[in-house]
Amino acid sequence: MVAQVAVLDHPNAFSALTLIGTRAVAPGPVDEDLPDHDRATMSRLFARAMPDWTDRDAVAAFAAAGAEILGDDPVTARAAAERIWDRTPGTAPPVQLANQMGVVFARLDCAPRWRERLPGIEVPTLVVHGRRNPFFPVGNGEAIARDIPGARLLVLDEAATAIPCTAVGEVTEAMLRLEQLDRG
């Protein structure tokens, strides 16, 4: 979401754009033509007790359990949470929560709505989306690819919200082809 707004507000700063597992509207009510979060998955995800954000192991276990609920690899999520925890400049619970939960949405300026502005994106764009994504179902990625002129859509059939290690090469190749389009 942040990359979409950034390229719209600062188009000259980008030579290409890759959007992964996202949608073109901010948190809140979803547009009628877009599939919303899977309610059962969201209920399970948000019913969990928050961890002790000052405890590295508790935060990593929380991330791993969330990944499992979302259909992602819990081992990879645990490792990512540990790396994020280690690089975070402080152990205060609000700092750790912000880094782990991606509360960037709280700072995302959603006005004016950017979905209607997507046709103005002029850089080569790749949209990558997991077919099994319960958080932002694949229809969200399909809509973004339709709304951005010339955007390429790569749907990963076995992916949920994260890019599995087995698909990294495929995504990398698609990104490199995008870069070649920009040079062409």
The residue that leads in pLDDT, 51 or 114, is 51
Is pLDDT at 65 greater than 50 in this prediction?
A: yes
- Write out the two tokens for 167: 């698909």
The residue that leads in pLDDT, 1 or 146, is 146
Amino acid, res. 36: D
C-alpha angle 31-36-40 in degrees, rounded to nearest 5? 155
CA distance 81 to 100: 7
Is pLDDT at 95 greater than 80 in this prediction?
A: no
- The tens digit of pLDDT for each residue in 19-30 reads 999 988 765 667
pLDDT for the residue 103? 42
Is pLDDT at 10 greater than 50 in this prediction?
A: yes
pTM for this structure? Answer: 0.81
CA distance 53 to 165: 27
- Report the percentage of the chain scoring pLDDT > 90: 60
pLDDT band at 53; cut points 50, 70, 90: confident
Segments in 71-123 forming alpha helices (H): 74-87, 93-101
3-state helix, strand, coil in the chain (%, to 5): 50, 10, 40
pLDDT for the residue 100? 57
What distance, in Å, lies between the first and last C-alpha atoms of the chain? 27
CB-based contact 149:44 (threshold 8 Å)? no
